[in-house]
Each structure stands twice: as structure tokens, then as C-alpha cells.
Amino acid sequence: MDLLVVGSGFFGLTIAERAAEAGRKVTVIDRRHHIGGNAYSENEPTTGIEVHRYGAHLFHTSNPSVWEYVNRFTTFTNYVHRVYSTHKGQVYALPVNLHTINQFFNAAYTPDEARALVKEQAGEFDVKTAANFEEKGIALVGRPLFEAFFAHYTAKQWQTSPEKLSGDIISRLPVRYNYDNRYFNDTWEGLPTDGYTAWIERMADHPNVDVKLNVDFFDESQPLNKKALVGQVPIVYTGPVDRYFDFAEGELAWRTLDFEEEVLNVGDFQGTSVMNYPDADVPYTRIHEFKHFHPERKDVYPDDKTVIMREFSRFATREDEPYYPVNSTDDRSGLLAYRELQKGEKDVFFGGRLGTYQYLDMHMAIGSALSMWNNQLNA
């Protein structure tokens, strides 16, 4: 074994595939029963509808090298992601756009009029100097729209007061003064034609890659453990950074998700793939309806059944699968301390959303893995 990769998400598998292509013998371990991390998908057995097991995954990128790389393993559909939000009994389009503004204020503003209105309502904060999520959100869309669509949704999603969250989160949701309600602005967008698991399995399908599932890196009763291998072989670690150091500098805050899946005897439940629920009196953040991710499969999927999944967010405990770093102001000092500890770990490379404690979309994880391979591991 020339390299051990801990975790089989997109970051780990990209490293493994690149190393294998370079002639190195790579072992990939994952404590789950499947590869792919949170991007794993499988067909719901009674309907055959592909379900994203850990919440909706939408691929998009403007990075040519990432787009070229992922197309080695899959083609993509022409799916364009659009999100809607049910607020006080009405459905609005997100991100906030001219239609959202006009509907919300029961008006018919022109782009310039809407821009002037939002500018007036957003005047209490400046985008460039906004110190947190709340200030930046108000600076982007004004207080009325922020409180309707983002304040309570964010509190449910992150279990953290908006003023304690980084403003970087809301930069993902631009306000538009036209009727464009595409969720993403990237050059390329789509879903893997044969599903995420088929894509993931192709990345791992190399004679130099040995994948071992149900293997815990911290379980010293099996040979592929931290104590036995650190310093003996290069390791790419994509698990939670605080867990690697046995929480020596305290626990970082993570968010995890719970899901309620239901098969319904209707052809179409909500008419779209994702519906947000930003109001405080609704316990879940959104509902996914998976058949809408692949309209090209309409002749394969049943026309009298559908699969929905309600998504609930909460803080993760040590026993949970962490999904997203909360990255509040309280976490930053602990993260800096862990980064100092990383410097003392010989030939251990920390990557991915969990290993770096950064909010990374799939294309960002793949791009950072390619960068690590080119600049550090393949040197």
C-alpha cells in the first residue's frame, strides 16, 4: 500500500483515482457500508425512483478542469435546479428575484424600482462590511425579505442564531432584478445520467484501488487504524478534524440531518424537486420529491407513485454523521488550534468538508482534491 485514504466521498475518491492512475497502490476505507459519502444514492425498492440518501445533491461548476475531470466518469442530464419556498401559505421562487419581490410586496416594480426599494430596506448594513449572516442578508435583500425567507429557515437549518454565522453562507443566494429563478449561476449544471452511485463506483473501479467498507480508522482492533499507520504510510484523511485529534482542542460544532421518507400513492406531490419551508412553525426545512430530479426517466418511473423526503436539521453529537461545519465565531479558535496540531502529523493530509471544516460543494471538494494531488501528493 502506497497511500491510505480515509473516507470515500468525492474528495477521497478523487485522490484515490489520481494516485491509482499514477501507479500507486491505494487503499480506501470508510466506516459506512457504502462508498460515496453523503452523495450516495440508491433506488427506492418499491418504485425504482432514485433517492439521494443524504439529501439533495446538485452538481454544478464553472471550473473547466473539474468539469473535464468529472466527465471522465459520467455524462450529465440537462437538469436545471430551481427552488421554491412556501411562506405563510404562498409559494415563492428562490433565489430572491424580481418575481419574488413583486409577489411579496404585491406590486409590479420594474428592475430599477425593485433595486431602489431593496436598497432602501437594506440600508442599515453594508454588504462589504457586514460582520455576519444576519447583517449580510439584510444588506443583500433588506429586512422584510430576510426575515421572511432566511431568518427562521437559517435558525432551523443551522441551529445557530444568524448573527453568529458567517456571512459567506448567504453569498450562495444572490438577489436578482430580473425573472431568472435558476438557483445556480454556473457554466455547467446537471445530474449524473446513471445516478450518483454509478458515477462514484466508476471512480473507484481501478485495479490499484482497494476499497474496504465498514472499517473505522479509530478502531485499533483492525489493522488499518490511526495508531498503526500514521508515520508509516501517507494518509489522506477526510473525516472530522476534531475527531482525528480525539477532541483535544474541544468539539467543533457540526450540523447533521434527519430524514423522513415516504412513498405516496400520487403521481406528483409538490410539482418540483425541492420546496423550502422557512416559517418557524414548520419543523422541517424542506421537502424533496425525487422523481423531479430526472424528468427524462418519466417512462421508467411509476406515474401513480412518488417518493418524498422531509429534511430536519440539528446539531450533531459524537454519535451522529456530521454533515456541515457550523463555523460560528465560537468555533474559529478551536479550528486554528487544530490546524496547528496538523503540522505535527507526518505525511497526513487533511481534506474535504469534514477534514478542513469548510463548507464545500461537490465541485469544490473535487477541485481541492485535484489541487492537493497536483501540488502536494504528486510532487
Domains of the chain, CATH where assigned: 3-80+189-251+325-377 (3.40.50.720), 94-170 (1.10.3110)
Q: Catalytic residue, from 153, 311, 338, 353: name it.
A: 311
The average pLDDT across 62-83 equals 98
Higher pLDDT, 369 or 156: 369
pLDDT of residue 117: 96
By DSSP bridging, strand 41-43 and strand 50-52 are antiparallel
Distance CA 78, CA 338 (A): 41
All three cell numbers of 241, joined, read: 478534524
The question of whether 18 is a catalytic residue gets the answer no
pLDDT at residue 2 greater than cutoff 70? yes
Helix count (H) and strand count (E) of the chain?
13, 16
104: closest CA among 154, 147, 155? 147
Catalytic (active site) residue 338: no
Q: Quick one: pLDDT band at residue 329, thresholds 50, 70, 90?
A: confident
Identify whether 311 is a catalytic site residue.
yes
From 53, 243, 286, 353, active-site residue? 286
pLDDT band at 52 (very low <50, low <70, confident <90, very high): very high
Place of cell 474535504: 352
Average pLDDT over residues 21-29: 98
Which residues, including other chains, have CB under 8 Å from residue 43's CB and lie 6 or more apart? Answer: 49, 50, 51
**Residue 97, number of CB atoms within 10 A of its CB:** 21
Percent of the chain at pLDDT exceeding 70:
98
**Which region among 19-33, 168-182, 195-209 has the lowest average model confidence (pLDDT)?**
168-182
CA distance 302 to 304: 6
pLDDT recorded at residue 131: 85
Higher model confidence: residue 97 or residue 332?
97
Mean pLDDT of 116-121: 94
Q: Residues 76-85: pLDDT tens digits?
A: 999 999 999 9
- Altogether, the residues listed in the chain come to a count of 379
Give the type of residue at 12: G
3-state secondary structure (DSSP) of residue 291: helix
Distance separating alpha carbons of residues 310 and 233, to the nearest angstrom: 42
Q: Is the pLDDT of residue 340 over 70?
A: yes
Any bridge partners for residue 255, and if so which? 315, 324
Q: Is the pLDDT of residue 119 over 60?
A: yes
Check if the beta carbon of residue 98 is closer than 8 Å to that of residue 115: no
C-alpha dihedral, 292 to 320 to 363 to 378, nearest 10°: -150
Catalytic residue among 124, 126, 172, 268: 172
pLDDT in tens, 135-183: 998 988 899 999 999 989 988 887 777 787 777 766 655 789 999 999 9
pLDDT reported for residue 173: 57
Q: What percent of the chain has pLDDT over 90?
A: 84
Residue 72 a catalytic site member: no
What mean pLDDT do residues 282-311 have?
97
Please, how many CA atoms are within 13 Å of residue 149, restricted to the half-sphere of its CB? 29
Q: What is d(CA 141, CA 68) in angstroms, rounded to the nearest whole number?
A: 35
**pLDDT of 140:** 86
For the chain, where are the alpha helices, taking DSSP H only?
A: 10-21, 64-70, 98-104, 111-121, 133-141, 143-146, 152-158, 196-204, 226-229, 241-244, 329-342, 352-356, 362-372
pLDDT at 158: 79
pLDDT reading at 321 higher than 60: yes
Residue with cell 419556498: 85
Average pLDDT estimate for 70-74: 98
Say which of 249, 255, 289, 338 is annotated catalytic: 255
**Nine cell digits for residue 324:** 456541515
Question: Is 347 in the active site?
Answer: no
Burial per residue of 265-294, b for 16 or more beta-carbon CB atoms within 10 angstroms, e otherwise: eeeebbebbbbbbbbeebebbbbbbbbbbb
Q: One of 18, 176, 243, 353 is an active-site residue; which one? A: 176
pLDDT at 216 over 90: yes
Helix (H) or strand (E) holding 189: strand 188-190
